[in-house]
Each structure stands twice: as C-alpha cells, then as structure tokens.
C-alpha cells in the first residue's frame, strides 16, 4: 500500500503503526486549543522504591483531561528586534544516563551550553520565574529516562511543563516523547518487544524537524532506540500529529546497518562515501516526499508534534553515537525555535541563570557540567568552536568552577622527584616478575603493590609500576563507610591512616573518602621539570583500590549491603620501580618533601637491580616451582544457585520490559576457604595463566587482604595532557579449541546482535559520563566494538576519549563516571538501585577500580574483574553479565561461569 507524505498540507496521512488497527487515518490540523490547566502543583518528588513503580497503563484520570484557566498568558517579550545569536535551552534531566549526550549536542548546536535541571529539582515557582519573569530560556528539551510518564516519580515536573508552557518550543526525547503523548490523552503501552541499543530505519513526513534528512528504507536515516514502552498510535488525540515511523518492524544491529550501499553523512568524514542526503537533494525543496511501501502490521510510531503548539516528541535517541543525522535534528529544532520567536515577536533570552547547582552535590540535586557533542562515531576529535558568551561575561549555569582548585584544606606539601633510567635492563634481570620478587617479594610481599601490564600484546599496555613500604612519605589509608552510608544525610565513614613509622590515626570523614582524596591531591605542589623526559604519568602518589560501595559518594542514595572488605585502601607510594615493556627500560623513582633530605633508596635499589643479572634464571625457576603445586579437591561455593541466578535474570528482563532499565549488569560471587596460602605465588600463577593489560597485585597485610587481579578492562585514565579515556568491555565469548574454531568464535562475538546492543548502550553511557567533565565537542569514539583476544576469552571493547575541562579535578572525573558503566547498566542510577535489590551481598572490591592517582594530577584505573580477593582466609571471585532485552537466562548463567573460570582455575591449581 502506498502513501504520500506531504509537508505542505495541513492534512497528514500516515500508515498503520503499532497499536493502530485502521489501515489509513486522516488527521486534520485542529484550531488552536484552549489552554489546559493542571490541578496539582508539585514542589518536589522523591524517588520511590522500585516495587512501587508499577506501570499504570489504564486510562485513569489523564492530566490532559483536566481543564481550567491558563496559569499565565503569552510569554512576555521585552527585547527589541534582534536575531538570535545563540539559543538558551532548559534541559530537564529525568535521571537518565544519556542526558549529557544531549547536552553535548546542544552546547555545539546552540552556541552555548544548556542549563540542566533534574525533574524534581525546581519547583513550579522556580520554573515560572526563569521562563516568564527572567526570560532566561528560548526552548526546553525533556530527556529520556527510566520508567513511565504515568508515574509521577519518573516524570516529575515534565507533565506540567508540557501542559502550561504552550508558548515555548519543547522537544521531548524517548520518555519526554511519551510524556507529550500522555499529557494530551494518548495511552502509553508496552511495545511488542523492547528495543535497546538497536537501530531502525525511519520514515518521516518531511516536516521542519526533519529538514535535510532523508526518509525511508535504504535512505541512510537510521536511529538508535532505547525503549520498552510506546505511545499507542490509535489513542492519539486530534491535537497530536504523527510525524515519524519505523519503515519496518525489524530492528537492526549496529553492524547490520553498515551493509547499506547508502551511507549516512554521519560517517562520511570517516569512510569517504557519498552522503545519502545528496541522493535526496531533489526532494528537499519540494512539497512531497517519494512514495514508500509500509508494512502496516509492524511500523512503530517514532515521532509526534502538537498541531498548535511548538511541541515535538521523538521516541528514538538522536544523541546516540550510532544515530545518523542526529546533529541535524538538533539544528532543526534550533531553527524552529529561532523562527518561532522571530515570527511571533523578536526575542532573545535576556539573562543567564545564576549557577544554582554545583558538581557532585548531594542527591537528588542535579549535576551540571560542560559536555561535548558528537553527531557521529568520531574517528578523530572534532574541532570545537568558541562558545558565545553574553556581554556581561556571566558564568553560565553549569559553566562556573565546579571545584575549588586553589584552596586545599590539608597542609600544602612541596614535593621533589628524583629518578634514574637504565636502558634495556629489564630483560637482563629476568623481567618485571623477577624485579618484583627480588626487590619486594621478601616477607610474603607484605604491604606491596604491582600494577602489572602482564599482557602487552598489540600495545594494549606498556608500563608496570611496583613498590613497597619504606619511604619517609609512605602511608596507608584504610576507609570504611559508616553503617549509615546514605550520602543524602552525609553518612561519611572512618579513615585509618598509618604512617611510615607505623603510627595509626583514625578520623571520621563527613564528606567521604573521595572528597578527602581530592583535597590531598590538590595540596601537592611540584615543579614539572622534575619529571620532564619520563614517558609515563605515575610519578608517585596514591595507589590502591576504590570499592563498589563508594557509589554512594558518586550520586547513589544508599548501599543495601555492607562490604566485608574496606571500602577503599591506598598506599602513598614515594619509592617505586617502573618497567617500560616496549623499550625494555627500567626506571627507579623517589619522592620526598622539599624540606627533607633524600634517602639512599635510589642508590640501594640501583645496586640490587644490577645484582639481579646473575640470579635472574634461578629466581625464575624458584617462582615457577611455587606456582605449580597440586590442586585441591574442594571447590568454590556460589552465592546463588544456577536456578536462583536465572530467576534474577528473569526479574531483570521484567524490569527492562517495564522500561525501568535498558541494561542491567547482574553479578554474583563464588567463595571458598583457602587457609594458609602463599598469595604472591598465587598471583604469579594467575598472571602466567591469564595475562592481562590492567592486572594488579595489592597486599594490605595489616588488613589481611590480598588482591590478585587479571583485568583486561580500563575504567578511566587521565593523562598529563588532560585527555580522559575509557575502554569499556561488553561482550565476551570463550576461545575456540582449534584455530578454525577460534576464528568462528571471534566472528560470532563480532556479529552478535545482543553483544553489539550491550556495547552500544555502554558506549553511549560512557560518552555521557565523560561529557559531564569534558570540553564541548571533545568527546569522541575512536574505536567502536573492536574484538580483543586474551588467553581464555575474546572480548568486545570500545574506546571513548575527551578533553577534561580545566576547572575539573582528577577526582571529579572519577566521581562523574564511577562505578564503571560496564558494571552497572543504564540508566545508571536506577539500574544500580535495582541491582542492589536483586544481589544478595555487597560486591566489595569487585566491580570497583584499582590503580593510581599521581601527585601531578593524573590517574589510571581499571575495572576490577577476573580477580581473586583473599581476605581473612577466604578467596572470593565476582562475575556477572549484562542483561538486555535479547538475553536468555541460561546463556547469561553460562557467561557468568565462563568469567569465573580463569581465576577460579588458578586458585584450584595452586592450592
């Protein structure tokens, strides 16, 4: 059946879409409707428990059916005739993990960053003040989010905005789109299938929101979808007009969309193909688009507009890294906004909203940071244009300093660094393993560390850092959250500090550990010339781990489970050895306060290194012998049985079906008693059997705690140039038994629709997290869904990078992204809340991060996976997987077991 989509006519014909049984319906543009009032004024809505957020699909008292006098008249316009030089957007955040991707887009498209306000952050009085008294905004964008527009806790003030602000352009994305339909009387129902992290081709009506964007099958207009609910098209009231649909019912994986002969201009700069927009140039100035065939039984409503208000809704995500023409949609919305105000009455926003929020304030207040923009999968960082500033040079809301970088509360420390380099020495002394065993392996390697790049294939890692107790600045920090670990009431925790003399000091940190660490790092003063010529970024400083439960210091309201291990442990390392695996060089480094004298550690260590040449072979044999003892018969005990884990997967799928999450990273633990064991011997065995680029050994002997980590995943790195990098892993498959089978396994992972969806969701999540602390236009994805091979598994890895803003500290970057999105799911806050309700114990160190914070404000942290944690005579291993709409409970259980296999086998072989 053919339909003509005409952009010039007020009568729009559209095909059957999901929930619409009639084959052809004509919607007439209605006359301007009477303003609909809203009876309830909402000052603040707190998030309710997940079990109270049940979907309300029934046609109960619809807000759109409430009538009353308008709250206000037409927006007052005070400026003389003037073209908009930039557009001010109020961006309502529905507690989503993709909001700052929209923020990035708007920052670049509008010429100035938007103001981000969470949906329960402003009262209606606040909204009216800024919109109508101060004329602070030109338009509003309502973000995606978990849940349903029928639940007040999920949608907050957005319904009232859509009802009352009839004279302000509004664009709703995903949840915002559903809210636009719901508030005017449409039904929000379950989709025939949830679609998350998959793409669809879009047919549209050629209207202004889709100007210069092609339409239909094979046109190159493919978009990313993250939703379980849809607007029932049959229930659309006459004032809402459908403007976009899927051109077929079949969602595609990312790689399937690359098979098209017509490539979107979103990728033209990277792959050099002709833009599909060119092939549609003959239509973009005409009144009608070409005839298109529709499958009326499968098309899904993807966009709506109001007939008399400048209000639009999009079910898909234009901000996703894999959406084609997403940037153009935001440009079109800007043009709609400009034309609306200039036609109605010349107007520009007349003030900038004062900075009412700061980074990392207590929940549920918002977090406002500059982000970036990305219309496509950037292979190279795009150039950033200068943002427009107002004449008064006011700080934009969310643009002012987020941290006090110049006023640390702790005493200022002036540090001096001395170092020596030994060319091509590493292989002469038996490599990193022998160096560590000889210099730091005595006395059971107590109070030692080793950030171990044991897998350096394909340049995945280059440097290893190792050291132990002994320097004058050495100290250990041990932090435990208080039992009242609820940051909304300033739970804080207890910090134990033990100095180089063994003297302990305990203190309570009301603001938490990360705040303390931030102040410590800001207290260091140094001269850059001290480390000129060093090819790495860790020159001494804090090295250790951040436990998963520190999520309460990063925006999560509370922890349901208390960790058995400390929530954070760090050494301050003032003496260390560095191995450069590329060049075979060895560096020794010593840090001291400017007012103190140097210790003889450098000279002593140099002497020990050169004495290793003669004993390298003997040490290698000794260590290998210790790592091949007979296995034990007793195995690990699982925290949850196979049946229980699969039941949890089913619960996750229900949450996803109801729109509560797009992806849930469900985990569990296995444990066993180990008694007396040589922990360093176990780690050496593990690194031999399962080498990894972000492996680590940590021994906090005073806590009876050893960590043997063989992680292949980087959480976040900040280098000396201010570049942030994340490398999330999503998608894992076992290696094949033969070379041919191994190739097939690799291809199976590469083209797995489920794994691609998992990976894409987390890439968009990490873009969001980096976007909160990076310069606009700087966040990009140089590698999307690469497959990397390790000793026992293939993994799907992506790389996200961005340029840190100058007024953001290293710890702020961590707080913006911790815990790593690959271990939580998206939307992040809601997903962690749901996971806490499903998992039966604290993740502890697992799912946290191990790494360093250098005194010169750089850091590098991994994701704690493939790790054995030995604490008080027990070994534990955490594992899990991402649950998405395409997940199968049995397959998810098998994937979880696969991830425990390498570390568990290493323990069993060593015992």
Active-site residue, 706 included: no
Query: What is the pairing mode between strands 637-638 and 663-673?
Result: antiparallel
164, 239, 319, 892: which one is catalytic? 319
- How far the first Cα of the chain sits from its last, in Å, is 70
Closest to 691 measured CA to CA, from 719, 712, 675: 712
Angle (CA) 772 776 782, round 5° = 90
Q: How many whole angstroms separate alpha carbon 295 and alpha carbon 204?
A: 15
Burial class of 54 by CB neighbour count within 10 A (0 to 12, 13 to 18, 19+): exposed
> DSSP characters for 155-171?
HTTHHHHHHH-TTS-EE
Closest to 679 measured CA to CA, from 660, 703, 658, 656: 703
Closest to 195 measured CA to CA, from 232, 156, 152, 224: 224
Burial class of 330 by CB neighbour count within 10 A (0 to 12, 13 to 18, 19+): buried
CB 224 within 8 A of CB 199: yes
Q: Which parts of 567-713 are beta strand (E)?
A: 568-573, 575-580, 585-593, 637-638, 663-673, 694-700, 705-711
Q: Residue 106 corresponds to which tokens in the numbers above?
A: 């708007």
Q: Give the Å distances, CA to CA, from 830 to 121, 175, 447, 840.
A: 17, 14, 38, 18
For 27, other C-beta atoms within 10 Å of its C-beta total: 18
Give, as one character, the DSSP assignment of residue 360: T
Q: How many whole angstroms separate alpha carbon 417 and alpha carbon 138?
A: 53
Q: How many whole angstroms separate alpha carbon 896 and alpha carbon 893?
A: 5
Active-site residue, 621 included: no
Helices assigned H by DSSP within 698-823: 739-750, 753-771, 810-817
Burial class of 489 by CB neighbour count within 10 A (0 to 12, 13 to 18, 19+): exposed
For 295, other C-beta atoms within 10 Å of its C-beta total: 14
311, 317, 581, 780: which one is catalytic? 317
Q: What is the CA radius of gyration of the chain?
A: 29
For 858, other C-beta atoms within 10 Å of its C-beta total: 21
> DSSP characters for 42-55?
-S--PPPPGGG---
Q: Which backbone phi and psi does 726 adopt, to 5 degrees?
A: -120, 145
Q: How many whole angstroms separate alpha carbon 262 and alpha carbon 274?
A: 8
Q: How many whole angstroms separate alpha carbon 61 and alpha carbon 500?
A: 67
16, 165, 174, 706: which one is catalytic? 174
Q: Residue 342 corresponds to which tokens in the numbers above?
A: 């200039």
Q: How many whole angstroms separate alpha carbon 532 and alpha carbon 534?
A: 6
Angle (CA) 298 304 306, round 5° = 150
Q: Which backbone phi and psi does 316 adopt, to 5 degrees?
A: -85, 180
**The residue count for the chain:** 911
Q: Residue 831 corresponds to which tokens in the numbers above?
A: 């997903």
Closest to 204 measured CA to CA, from 288, 109, 298: 288
Q: How many whole angstroms separate alpha carbon 765 and alpha carbon 817?
A: 9
Active-site residue, 319 included: yes
Closest to 76 measured CA to CA, from 306, 308, 349, 396: 349
Closest to 770 measured CA to CA, from 820, 731, 730: 820
Instruction: Report the catalytic residues.
Output: 174, 317, 319
């Amino acid at each position: 059946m053919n339909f003509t989509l005409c952009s010039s006519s007020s009568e729009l014909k559209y095909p059957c879409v999901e929930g619409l049984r009639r084959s052809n319906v004509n919607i007439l543009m209605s006359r301007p409707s009477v303003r609909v009032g809203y009876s309830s004024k909402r000052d603040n809505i707190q998030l309710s428990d997940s079990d109270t957020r049940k979907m309300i699909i029934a046609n109960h008292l619809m807000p759109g059916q409430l009538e009353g006098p308008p709250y206000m008249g037409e927006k007052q316009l005070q400026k003389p005739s003037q073209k908009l030089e930039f557009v001010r957007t109020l961006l309502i955040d529905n507690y989503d993990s993709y909001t700052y991707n929209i923020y990035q887009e708007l920052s670049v498209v509008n010429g100035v960053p938007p103001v981000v306000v969470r949906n329960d952050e402003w009262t209606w009085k606040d909204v009216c003040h800024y919109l109508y008294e101060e004329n602070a905004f030109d338009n509003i964008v309502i973000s995606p989010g978990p849940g349903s527009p029928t639940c007040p806790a999920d949608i907050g003030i957005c319904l009232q905005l859509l009802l009352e602000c009839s004279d302000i352009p509004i664009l709703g994305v995903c949840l915002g789109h559903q809210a636009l339909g719901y508030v005017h009387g449409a039904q929000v129902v379950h989709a025939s299938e949830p679609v998350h992290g998959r793409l669809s081709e879009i047919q549209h009506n050629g209207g202004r929101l889709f100007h210069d964007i092609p339409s239909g099958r094979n046109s190159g207009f493919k978009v990313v979808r993250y939703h379980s609910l849809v607007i029932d098209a049959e229930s659309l009231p006459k004032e809402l007009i459908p403007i976009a649909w899927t051109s077929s019912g079949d969602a595609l994986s990312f790689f399937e969309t690359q098979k098209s002969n017509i490539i979107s201009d979103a990728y033209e700069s990277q792959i050099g193909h002709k833009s599909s927009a060119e092939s549609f140039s003959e239509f973009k100035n005409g009144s009608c688009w070409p005839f298109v065939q529709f499958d009326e039984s499968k098309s899904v409503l993807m966009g709506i507009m109001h007939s008399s208000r400048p209000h639009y809704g999009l079910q898909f995500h234009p901000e996703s890294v894999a959406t084609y023409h997403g940037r153009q949609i935001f440009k079109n919305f800007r043009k709609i906004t400009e034309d609306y105000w200039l036609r109605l009455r010349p107007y520009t926003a007349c003030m900038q909203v004062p900075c009412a929020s700061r980074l990392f304030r207590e929940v549920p207040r918002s977090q406002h940071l500059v982000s970036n923009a990305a219309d496509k999968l950037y292979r190279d960082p795009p150039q950033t244009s200068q943002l427009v500033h107002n004449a008064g040079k006011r700080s934009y809301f969310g643009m002012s300093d987020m941290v006090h970088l110049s006023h640390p509360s702790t005493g200022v420390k002036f540090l001096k660094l001395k170092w020596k380099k030994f060319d091509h020495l590493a292989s002469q002394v038996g490599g990193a393993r022998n160096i560590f065993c000889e210099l730091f392996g005595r006395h059971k390697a107590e109070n030692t560390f080793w950030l171990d790049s044991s897998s350096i294939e394909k340049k995945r890692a280059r440097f290893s850092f190792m050291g132990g107790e002994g320097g004058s600045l050495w100290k250990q920090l041990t932090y435990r959250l208080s039992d009242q670990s609820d940051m909304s009431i300033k739970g804080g925790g207890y910090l134990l500090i033990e100095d180089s003399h063994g003297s302990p000091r305990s203190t309570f940190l009301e603001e938490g550990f990360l705040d303390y660490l931030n102040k410590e790092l800001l207290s260091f003063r140094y001269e850059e010339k001290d480390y000129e010529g060093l090819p790495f970024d860790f020159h001494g400083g804090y090295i250790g781990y951040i436990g998963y439960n520190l999520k309460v210091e990063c925006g999560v309201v509370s922890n349901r489970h208390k960790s058995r291990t400390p929530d954070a442990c760090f050494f301050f390392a003032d003496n260390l050895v560095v191995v450069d695996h590329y060049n075979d060089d060895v560096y020794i480094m010593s840090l001291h306060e400017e007012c103190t004298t140097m210790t003889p550690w450098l000279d002593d260590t140099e002497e020990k290194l050169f004495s290793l040449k003669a004993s390298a072979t003997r040490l290698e044999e000794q260590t290998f012998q210790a790592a091949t003892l007979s296995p034990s018969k007793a195995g690990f005990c699982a925290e949850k049985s196979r049946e229980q884990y699969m039941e949890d997967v089913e619960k996750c799928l229900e949450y996803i079906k109801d729109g509560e999450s797009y992806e849930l990273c469900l985990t569990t633990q296995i444990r066993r008693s180990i008694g007396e064991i040589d922990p360093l011997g176990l780690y050496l065995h593990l690194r031999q059997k399962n080498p990894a680029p972000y492996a680590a050994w940590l021994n906090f002997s005073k806590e009876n705690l050893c960590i043997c980590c063989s992680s292949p995943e980087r959480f976040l790195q900040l280098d000396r140039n201010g570049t942030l990098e994340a490398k999330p892993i999503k998608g894992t498959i076992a290696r094949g038994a033969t070379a041919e089978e191994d190739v097939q396994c690799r291809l199976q992972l590469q083209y797995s629709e489920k794994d691609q969806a998992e990976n894409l969701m987390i890439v968009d999540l990490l873009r969001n997290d980096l976007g909160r602390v990076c310069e606009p236009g700087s966040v990009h994805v140089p590698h999307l869904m690469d497959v990397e091979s390790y000793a026992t598994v293939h993994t799907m890895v992506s790389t996200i990078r961005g340029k840190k803003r100058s007024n953001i500290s290293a710890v702020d970057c961590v707080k913006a992204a911790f815990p790593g999105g690959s271990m939580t799911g998206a939307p992040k806050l809601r997903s962690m809340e749901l996971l806490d309700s499903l998992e039966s114990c604290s993740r502890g160190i697992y799912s946290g991060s191990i790494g360093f914070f250098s005194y010169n404000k750089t850091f590098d942290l991994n994701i704690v996976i493939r790790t054995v944690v030995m604490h008080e005579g027990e070994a534990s291993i955490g594992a899990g997987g991402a649950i998405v709409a395409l997940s199968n409970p049995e397959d998810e259980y098998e994937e979880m077991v696969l991830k425990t296999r390498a570390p568990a086998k290493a323990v069993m072989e060593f015992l």
